[in-house]
């Protein structure tokens, strides 16, 4: 997977901060209310380290699953996965630009899985010791999220456990600033992303990148 693809996934996580705040601010608040007395930054770092590790694990598993198509020389399947990844990237671009909300509809696909994960998360709370944050963060990574699904399909299309892991790791690191700085600094950053021209430019860049990839495949 070229480095610029990893950069695109990192930017998808970073620039999708508005979606992250909407989806996860309630989760972060719930975690914060159950923390022991004392400094909270180590705990929030643990939550996010576990979450990103969970993304990397998902990416490795999906990349390994996709590698079967390479082993079996199923070029048509690899091509389909590549096209689906680019179509989801286009949907992400439209979402970031504020032109359409197709991405949020995709999140419904993960609800059945989340119903099985959520009880495990409840049993892991409240937090009493720092190591618990890693386990809670790992479970948090399974929260239905259209941005995560976009990156996941890219990991699947990579047809490699290592490349799939790197894809999800790049995406997860992109989401880190928004979720660590979920206070005033993040809100200031989000003010810039709320401008229609800025969102349109960001979304158009993602759409143009995906279309270029599809045209390259056609050529």
Range in 82-91, 131-140, 176-185 the model is least confident about? 176-185
What pLDDT does 219 receive?
66
Residue range 177-214, pLDDT digits in tens: 877 776 444 455 555 556 677 677 777 877 887 788 77
Distance between CA atoms of residues 188 and 185, nearest Å: 5
**16 burial via Cβ count (<10 Å: 0-12, 13-18, 19+):** buried
> Is there a contact between 114 and 142 (Cβ–Cβ < 8 Å)?
yes
Percentage of the chain beyond pLDDT 70 is 76
Of residues 207 and 171, more confidence is placed in: 171
Coil, strand or helix at 37: coil
Tokens describing residue 5: 């693809």
Q: What does the pLDDT average to over 52-73?
A: 81
What pLDDT does 155 receive?
86
Helices 184-194 and 17-33 cross at an angle (nearest 10°) of: 160
Q: Please enumerate in sequence order all residues whose Cβ is within 8 A of that of 125, keeping only pairs 6 or more positions apart, or say none.
A: 31, 34, 136
**DSSP state at residue 135:** H
Return mean pLDDT, the chain: 76
Q: Could you give the count of Cα atoms lying within 13 Å of 170 in the half-sphere of its Cβ?
A: 23
Question: According to the per-residue pLDDT averaged within each range, which of 72-86, 104-118, 197-211 is highest?
Answer: 197-211
Q: Please enumerate in sequence order all residues whose Cβ is within 8 A of that of 77, keeping only pairs 6 or more positions apart, or say none.
A: 69
Distance between CA atoms of residues 159 and 104, nearest Å: 26
Percentage of the chain beyond pLDDT 90 is 8
Of residues 82 and 103, more confidence is placed in: 82
């Amino acid at each position: 997977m070229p480095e610029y693809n990893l950069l695109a996934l990192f930017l998808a996580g970073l620039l999708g901060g508005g979606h992250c705040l909407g989806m996860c601010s309630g989760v972060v608040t719930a975690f914060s209310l159950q923390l022991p007395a004392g400094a909270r930054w180590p705990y929030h770092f643990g939550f996010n380290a576990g979450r990103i590790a969970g993304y990397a694990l998902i990416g490795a598993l999906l990349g390994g699953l996709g590698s079967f198509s390479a082993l079996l020389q199923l070029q048509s399947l690899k091509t389909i996965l590549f096209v689906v990844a680019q179509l989801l990237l286009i949907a992400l671009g439209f979402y970031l630009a504020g032109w359409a909300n197709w991405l949020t509809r995709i999140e419904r696909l993960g609800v059945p899985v989340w119903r099985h994960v959520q009880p495990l998360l409840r049993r892991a709370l409240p937090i009493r010791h720092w190591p618990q944050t890693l386990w809670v963060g790992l479970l948090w990574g399974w929260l239905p999220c259209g941005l995560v699904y976009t990156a996941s399909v890219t990991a699947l299309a990579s047809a490699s456990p290592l490349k799939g892991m790197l894809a999800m790791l790049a995406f997860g690191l992109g989401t880190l600033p928004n979720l660590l700085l979920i206070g005033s600094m993040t809100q200031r950053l989000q003010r810039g992303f709320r401008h229609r021209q800025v969102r349109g430019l960001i979304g158009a860049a993602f759409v143009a990148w995906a279309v270029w990839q599809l045209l390259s495949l056609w050529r």
